[in-house]
Amino acid sequence: MRATRLDATDWLILRELQADGRITNIELARKVGISAPPCLRRVRALEEAGVIEGFTVLLDDKALGFDVSAFAMIKLHRQAEADLSAFEAWVAAAPVVRDCYMLSGEIDFLLRCVAPDLTAFQNFIIRELTAAPNVQSVKTSLVIRSSKHVPGVPTELVLHEAEQVRRGH
């Protein structure tokens, strides 16, 4: 199922699941205005199409004793595909790294890292990241405060546009 083929009901389902992945199918169906059997079929179709990648739980890092969140900006010596893939494979095995993004521009990768304390983060940077193959430079920034974290996609944009079309605007 391609994004261009999703109808308003599919987008409503995605919005509700993004807000609460533990919602029951009956409650989901009620919220999107359809009966439970077709709702479940739609959710399964969205999963099979790869639109829904899976379900997970969001943990509060601070409540679990992970007091340091930081970003690491990585510059590599070489950017050949083999080098990029090798770095991504190295990052995949690093538990401190929670997100990895390849960027265009002067920085090759942006890593979001979470560690129990500053010493653990510093040890990761000094002993592991700077020593990783092909790493030219590492710049870090500690997160002071997070004011917004919204996983997923902005379903509201599509739903707003669909409502405007429905109203004839």
124 near 94, Cβ under 8 Å? yes
The CA-atom distances, in angstroms, between 122 and each of 29, 32, 126 are: 48, 47, 6
Highest mean pLDDT: which range of 4-8, 97-101, 148-152 = 97-101
| Higher pLDDT pick, 168 / 138 | 138
Which is it for the CA torsion 45, 50, 52, 56, positive or negative? positive
Task: Give a three-class secondary structure readout of the chain.
Answer: CCHHHCCHHHHHHHHHHHHCCCCCHHHHHHHHCCCHHHHHHHHHHHHHCCCCCCCCCCCCCCCCCCCEEEEEEEEECCCCHHHHHHHHHHHHCCCCEEEEEECCCCCCEEEEEEECCHHHHHHHHHHHHCCCCCEEEEEEEECCCCCCCCCCCCHHHHHHHHHHHHHCC
Q: What class has domain 3-57?
A: mainly alpha
- Specify the pLDDT at position 14: 96
pLDDT digits (tens, 9 = 90+) for 106-118: 999 999 999 999 9
**pLDDT confidence bin for 160, thresholds 50/70/90:** confident
CATH of 68-142, one of 3.30.70.920, 1.10.8.60, 3.40.50.2300, 3.40.190.170: 3.30.70.920
Domain ranges of the chain: 3-57, 68-142
In the predicted model, what is the mean pLDDT of residues 145-163?
A: 86
- Please say whether the beta carbons of 36 and 25 come within 8 A: yes
pLDDT for position 162: 66
- Digit-coded pLDDT (tens) for 23-63: 999 999 999 999 999 999 999 999 999 999 999 999 999 99
